[in-house]
Amino acid sequence: MSKKENIHLENSETELVRGCINNDRHLQSMLYKKYAGKMMTVCFRYSKNKEDAEDSLNEGFLKVFDNICSFKGEGSLEGWVRKIMVNTALEKLRRKSNLYKIVSIEDLKAEQLSHEDLESNLNAKELILLVQKLPPMYQIVFNLYAFEGLKHKEISAKLGISEGTSKSNLSDARTWLKKAYEKLSREQKILTA
């Protein structure tokens, strides 16, 4: 990206923030459109279904608009919005974690992963839905470690668990994902063959 483009982006980001602080609906809509796709994926990773993900997205953007005056421009706006989305979705998942049925790998079937919205990107579709099928605590730890880049110390502080528990959960999550991925890959090959 050229220097000129960078300056333009920075300016437009500043304008977006200013507009949102002034409750300019048009600029609020622009900010939403700019980040809704990426943030939906973030929320989807921390949710068990699309409805929950959309709830988190809605709640997260409300927090963004409510607190945007506290954005000091020290990091990227996207990073700041993403942090809010992660926290919002995380909170929702933790609150509802006991409501979700834990799926065993044996119960996983390739057909379960079909989703009309994701047909254009099969790899991403399969993988993201697999993350969703993880038991809640595994899902949280795996997301925080693999996607948010947090260390075990940070994860343990954030979740109020020991570092050992965090490591153990991550290891279990990876094992679960690996087995599930291999199983579904095999089944898909059979289905396509």
Partner 1 sequence: MQESFNEIDNLFKGNIESFEMTPSEKVWDSLDNTLEKRANSKYKVIVFRLRAALVTLLLLFGTFVVYHFSVTNIESKEVTTDKPEILSSGNTDQMVSITAIENKSKSNNEKSFNQKEKRNSSIMNTSSFNTLLNKHSEATLKKTKISFPNYNENTATINPKGSSFTNLIESKEREFIDSKVIPDSMLENSNLNQPIASSIQKGDLPDSIISPESTDITPKGKLIKRFSFIAYFSPDLTKKYLVDDNTDNQSQSEYDGQESSDFSFNTGFLFGYDVTPKWSIKSGITYAYLMQSIKPKTVYVKTGNNGQQYYQFNTSYGSAQIPSDASTTQLSDSLRIKTSSTQLLQLVSVPLIAKYQIQRNKFSFYGQFGIAVNVLVGEKLLVETPNRTESITNIEGLREFNFGGIVGLGVSYNPIKKLSIMVEPTFRGSLTPINQNTSVKSYPYSLGLAIGLGWHL
Site residues (vs partner 1, CB under 8 A): 23, 25, 28-29, 32, 36-38, 40-41, 44-45, 53-54, 57-58, 61-63, 65, 67, 70, 83-84, 86-88, 90-91, 94-95, 97, 117-118, 121, 123-124, 127-128, 130-131, 145-147, 157-162, 171, 174, 177-178, 181
Least distance to partner 1 from the beta carbon of 193, Å?
A: 23
Read off the tokens for 15: 């304008």
The rounded distance, in Å, linking the Cα atoms of 4 and 51 is 40
Least distance to partner 1 from the beta carbon of 5, Å?
A: 20
Least distance to partner 1 from the beta carbon of 144, Å?
A: 10
Least distance to partner 1 from the beta carbon of 84, Å?
A: 6
User: Quick count: other Cβ atoms within 10 Å of Cβ 143?
Assistant: 22
Please, which residue, 58 or 114, has the CB nearer to partner 1?
Answer: 58
- Answer whether 33's CB lies under 8 Å from 87's CB: no
Nearest to 62 by CA among 10, 13, 19, 20: 20
Please, which residue, 4 or 120, has the CB nearer to partner 1?
Answer: 120
Least distance to partner 1 from the beta carbon of 59, Å?
A: 10
Q: Residue 6, exposed/middle/buried by CB under 10 A (0-12, 13-18, 19+)?
A: exposed
Please, which residue, 11 or 175, has the CB nearer to partner 1?
Answer: 175
CA atoms within a 13 Å half-sphere pointing along the CA-CB vector of 102: 10
Least distance to partner 1 from the beta carbon of 138, Å?
A: 12
Amino acid (1-letter code) at residue 114: S
Nearest to 16 by CA among 26, 1, 7: 26
Please, which residue, 7 or 70, has the CB nearer to partner 1?
Answer: 70
Nearest to 135 by CA among 41, 48, 50, 42: 48
Please, which residue, 13 or 54, has the CB nearer to partner 1?
Answer: 54
- Answer whether 165's CB lies under 8 Å from 137's CB: no
Please, which residue, 14 or 171, has the CB nearer to partner 1?
Answer: 171
